[in-house]
Amino acid sequence: MSVLTRDEAQNRAQLLDVRHYTIDLDLTRGDETFDSRTAIRFTVRDGQDATDTFVELKPAELRSATLDGQPLDPRTLDGNRLPLKNLAPGEHELRVDAAMRYSRTGEGMHRFTDPTDGETYVYTQLFLDDVQRVYAAFDQPDLKAVFDLTVKAPEGWTVLANSVTEHTGGVWKAAPTPPISTYLVAVAAGPWHSVRTEHRGLPFGIHCRRSLAPFLEADADEILGVTRACFDRYHEKFAEPYPFDSYDQAFVPEFNAGAMENPGLVTFRDEFVYRSAVTDTERQTRAMVIAHEMAHMWFGDLVTLKWWDDIWLNESFAEYMGYQTTAEATRFTDTWTDFGITRKSWGYDADQRPSTHPVAPEAVPDTASALLNFDGISYAKGASALRQLVAWLGEKDFLAGINTHFARHRFGNATLADFIDSLVAATDRDVHAWADAWLRTTGVDTLVPELRAQDGNWHLAVRHRGSPATPPGPAGNHDARTRPHRITVGLYDHDLHDARRLTPRDRLETDVPADGDTTLGAAGPRPALVVLNDGDLTYAKIRFDDTSFRTVRAALSGLPDPLTRAVVWNALRDAVRDGELPPTAYLETARAHLPHETDLAVVQGVLSFAATRIADRYARPDQRPAALATLTDLCRDLIRRTEDGDHPGLRLIAVRHFIDAAAHPHAIAAWLAEGTVPGGPELDPELRWRILTRLAVLGAVDEAAIAAELENDPSATGQEGAARCRAALPDADAKAAAWQAMFTRDDLSNYLFTATAQGFWQPEQADLVRPYVPRFYQDAVALAARRGPAIAEAAGQYAFPAHAVDPDTLRLGEECLRDADPTPALRRKLVDQLDDLARALRLRKA
């Protein structure tokens, strides 16, 4: 299939004005295909000679196509392009009749049958170029049009769309949309369970499959309460009112992303309908995703990027607004702590790999390249840059600039230059220079404190230091320039009555220029601890002076603010990854301080890094048992601390990580047999499958036990749990069957593929799976070519042998990149995995 290039899109946008789509879908044609009929009204602009262009579609069968009533030869369809020849200036109408394939990979029109009750659901995911799997389109974001949609559905189904729907029998018609981009059209059809209400005169609804109805009902008040609160807060921030006629949120099965911002019909992965116990931080994450997607109604849907090089105009803004608005409008007021400990680390890691790119790249050549930029840079780094922009610009001027942006480009398209011009109109600061420094560069700055005492005073210099060298990627992406930073410096002293507690002395705001350092000073003794970037307002790694580092090791848990603790934990994490702090020192610090931590996001973030990076990858095989023992001892302390029942979220996190780190099956096998952890919690399906997976890894269960558990929980989540457990069994036949399911058969859905991959590789089974390490590269390349980007990404992320930290794995991967021509989606994942592998090798040698 041909990808659309930037040049082709620009040429087509100069040629065409696309006005209106009429789309008729028939979902009653069977399990494999559906019918799609499209009529597109468009104009070739005056001043053009008779010219050629093309429309995109990926049909199972192209039955017919007519242009201005004249038939086109279906055999001229070349891959995904139907040529349109000799178009004269003026109005035209294209009609296309095709059969389209349902997807099992979350792309296009995904079809899912619920194993719990046999009910079937379909929904669209049309980003970035998967529109062509559902209807014929001039598929680029700057050819916006009005969409009229009609859907024929089986009896008993409800059809949801971008706008209010009405139906007669099984035929559902949606109200015409305002002008929107092709990738934002949405349909979700099936026997949904719905909770409907109204807010500010608009219909609101939340929807899920019927088997999840009790769980949606239990959380409906919270979900709708967050939705209303964010909706009202955005109307306080934005002068432009919500631009669509309804607001539905559908929780759909086997969704590849967290959510998708289809105007009027946001789709979420239905894991956000919790059927097992979750922590308050996980509820906060759901609230943030609701706020993030709602922000897209303005950032992305009302005003849309012109081309994919400005994806940050969608994602960075929605990420920033999601966290900020959740903190302002809901009970979840500590969202920036969660952002700091989880999302920022995603951005920092991505920005230090060879595949790094600017937040706003100069040019994205085609759609395949664009898809690779939906990463920690476009989300977390971009949101961090905007948070820094607000700190530097002031929120009043920032909001004035974005409201100007909405007014200038409503229902249109815009670029980075357009946005900067809107900000310039609201401030006298040099926003162009800020954008060049923050949005056009790559890499992470490191800020280092230097303290000295003189004449009874102390002086602090904040200096830039280059990060450890990141080799340039294929595009030469490494950029050694530094950025200006506005930061807060936190000063802390030991408590006079308890040296393990720290009390704030002062918080100093300062600017650190890109081309120099900044110096601060004060009278009196030097502080026990100096924290650069206290409050986490900028995007930079920080280090500690020697005295501050000793204070951190002794009294980290005594810092009063969880956001400050998150900044400090991130600094320790970065020091480990950069080879400046031994992984064992991080574990020792976690062992000493995490039992006293109260913030759930911090506990989860620290335990996750300690488990998935230090114990699984950075520790040598002979060090792994000690690392797991440290983690289980730490979790046992947290479990003991929470016996009073006052901290259920903390206890749940500790129980989960105790299970994952268990080196011996006895304790967790007893929990499974008894159906509860002593003192609680009782084992819900998530915990039961978690324990069973770990027991499978340790060789303490067999197929009969897995089958019995699946009989008790035949849900979609149960099917995934069983696939994960079966792949985790330390048995040669089980490994062969799992490998065949992933790489030979093509019938696994995206979620079942991921679950199987998650179970397959286990550090405890390195000898058993060693023959599969070289097979991975050849088989993954072939799989990605056959099954497309979604499965390619899953293979690269979950089926990669990350446990095999050795030079041979790295060599084989480098040979694959050089010689095997993996698809772009798989290549990007392999580049990132191999960079992480090389880092782990360096740390093991240190």
Backbone angles phi, psi at 704, to 5 degrees: -60, -40
Tokens of 659: 């299970």
Q: Decide: 298 and 240 in contact? Cβ < 8 Å.
A: yes
Q: Residue written as tokens 């700190």?
A: 391
Q: Give the C-alpha separation, 643 to 839, whole Å.
A: 40
Cβ-proximal residues to 453 (8 Å cutoff; 6+ apart), any chain: 459, 525, 526
> DSSP letter string over 98-115?
EEEEPBSSSSEEEEEE-T
- Whose CA is closest to 248, among 160, 178, 330, 174? 160
Using alpha carbons, list the distances in angstroms from residue 431 to 313, 407, 425, 707.
16, 19, 10, 61
Catalytic residue from among 254, 282, 293, 709: 293
Q: Would you say 305 and 314 are in contact if contact means Cβ atoms under 8 Å apart?
A: yes
Distance between CA atoms of 494 and 510, rounded to whole angstroms? Answer: 24
Token look-up 């990580």 returns 657
DSSP per-residue string spanning 456-478: TEEEEEEEEEPPSP----TT---
For helices 789-798 and 750-760, give the axis angle rounded to 10 degrees: 20
**Cα gap 299→603, rounded to integer Å:** 33
Q: What are phi and psi of 559, to 5 degrees?
A: -70, 135
Per-residue exposure over 771-793, b if at least 16 CB sit within 10 Å of its own CB, e if not: ebbeebbebbbebbeebbbbbbb
d(CA 154, CA 31): 12
Token pair of 216 as six digits: 């949606």
580 in catalytic set: no
How far is the C-alpha of 602 from the C-alpha of 48, rounded, in Å? 60
- Determine the Cα–Cα distance for residues 619 and 625; give it in Å rounded to an integer: 9
Residue type, 359: V
State the residue for tokens 């950069």. Answer: 578
Q: Name residue, tokens 């899953």.
A: 794
Residues with Cβ < 8 Å from 214, sequence gap 6 or more?
none
Using alpha carbons, select from 787, 788, 784, 786 the residue that is nearest to residue 830.
784
223 contact partners, CB below 8 Å, separation of at least 6: 206, 216, 249, 286, 290
DSSP 285-308: HHHHHHHHHHHTTTBTTTEEESSG
Q: How far apart are CA 657 and CA 679, in angstroms?
A: 17
Distance CA 292, CA 24 (A): 31
| Calpha distance 36→25 (Å, rounded) | 5
Assess whether the previous peptide bond of 468 is cis (omega < 30° from 0): no
Strand-pairing partners, residue 452, are: 459
Q: Give the C-alpha separation, 254 to 752, whole Å.
A: 9
Cα distances (Å, whole numbers) of residue 221 to 193, 247, 268, 323, 410: 15, 16, 17, 21, 32
User: How far apart, in whole angstroms, are the C-alpha atoms of residue 794 and residue 376?
Assistant: 17
Phi-psi group of 645: left, alpha or beta (phi > 0 → left; psi -120 to 50 → alpha; rest → beta): left
Catalytic residue numbers, as ranges: 293
